[in-house]
Amino acid sequence: MEIGRDLILLHGAICSANCFKDLTEKLQQKYIVHTPNFSGHGGAPMAEFFSIEQFASEVLNYLSEKNIDQIDIFGYSMGGYVALYLAKMHPERVRRIFTLGTKFEWTPAIAEREVKMLNADEIAEKIPTFAQQLEKRHAPNDWKVLLGKTAEMMMALGHKNPLLLEDYRYILNSVRIAIGDKDQVVTLEETIAVYRNLPNATFMVLPNTPHPIAKTDMEKLSREIKDFFN
């Protein structure tokens, strides 16, 4: 792979570009690394509504601003979902995709379960250190508003998933679908189901890896990313 190819890193829900700080350092010697923030995240202007469609349009706008015709994408969690939605809707703008810990299956029951973990008042009371991290991460935006909009987006996903299982059959890009073996947010079953429906996909399980990107072995992850996009 030639030095200087553009690679965009798409963060997960309630995360930000800063969550990729260590990964970016390991990748930027080989790639032109882009780490935009989705609406409301990392201090970016707050959109009225959060949605996969909204975030995908923001990526397209970013590519246009940077005069990038086609991009390689690493998407963590929600970022991986946005990447695959982009590939489905705008295949000409996406080259290859590597996802990690992306939740693909959404039902009303699953959405309700996920939303329970986004109760801002409970986080502030029971996990004050995490609340402080969120406040700092998303300033000057109100992190509680961000959590509320994220919860609304998840409930909407539960009632109308923008990517059905059969939709993946039409994504012809080369894709690496990865999951951590200790991920307690994303199931192996839903991940394999999507992998099997993608025509040009490979599947990977990262050992000793839970869902939070901060607990991922960045040295190993960066090697896998370089190997895939090579």
Within a domain: 69: yes
Within a domain: 76: yes
196: containing domain: 5-105+162-229
Within a domain: 78: yes
Helix (H) or strand (E) holding 23: helix 21-27
Digits of tens for pLDDT over the chain (230 positions)?
455 799 999 999 999 999 999 999 999 989 999 999 999 999 999 999 999 999 999 999 999 999 999 999 999 999 999 999 999 999 999 999 999 999 999 999 999 999 999 999 999 999 999 999 999 999 999 999 999 999 999 999 999 999 999 999 999 999 999 999 999 999 999 999 999 999 999 999 999 999 999 999 999 999 999 999 98
Within a domain: 115: no
Within a domain: 145: no
Within a domain: 133: no
Helix (H) or strand (E) holding 94: strand 94-100
Within a domain: 42: yes
- How many structural domains are present in the chain? 1
Within a domain: 21: yes
- Strand order of the sheet with strand 174-180? 31-34, 5-10, 71-76, 94-100, 174-180, 201-206
Cα 44 to Cα 36, 55, 67, 95, 132, distances in angstroms: 9, 12, 21, 26, 18
Q: What is the CATH number of the domain that holds 65?
A: 3.40.50.1820
